[in-house]
Structure 1
């Protein structure tokens, strides 16, 4: 049974407790990573991005441009670092570009 919260908790604390109690964090991570990619990469890369998928700690990104995929492959570590900094915790450990 869920623990009862007092009347003085903030909405953020209540939502955090709800997410934790219902084991929703992996789903929230998938959404957060997708939004972080769109925010960090900008329109130029997003126009060539077909799909963004988080499985475990690996981020799979499907791109429609082979040239862009090759260029981004040189900065995979930087992409991981930028996404984790945006989310303020370590969610992604590896990026796979397809």
Structure 2
């Protein structure tokens, strides 16, 4: 049962406590990573992205273009760094392009 607060708390704090209490961090991380990918990569890459899957700090990106896959493979570390900066924490440690 959630804690009862006598003082007022902000909605941000209440939602954070709710997420932690119900162990929803994994699911939210998956959604946040997908949104960060779409925002950082733009329409050009998103048009060829067919799937995004986060599992144990490894981000799997499915692409329909082998040429784009090869181009993105040269900048994997930069992409990981940009995603983690966008998310504000170290969520992605490995990137696999398929």
Q: Could you state the TM-score of these two structures normalised by the residue count of structure 1?
A: 0.97
Gaps of 5+ in 1: none
Stretches (4+) displaced over 6 A: none
1:73 aligned partner: 73
Q: Would you say how many aligned residue pairs link Structure 1 and Structure 2?
A: 98
1:47 aligned partner: 47
1:23 aligned partner: 23
Q: Could you state the TM-score of these two structures normalised by the residue count of structure 2?
A: 0.97
Provide the aligned C-alpha RMSD in A.
0.8
Q: Quote how far apart the aligned CAs of 1:69 are.
A: 0.1
Confirm whether residue 58 of structure 1 aligns to residue 63 of structure 2. no
Gaps of 5+ in 2: none
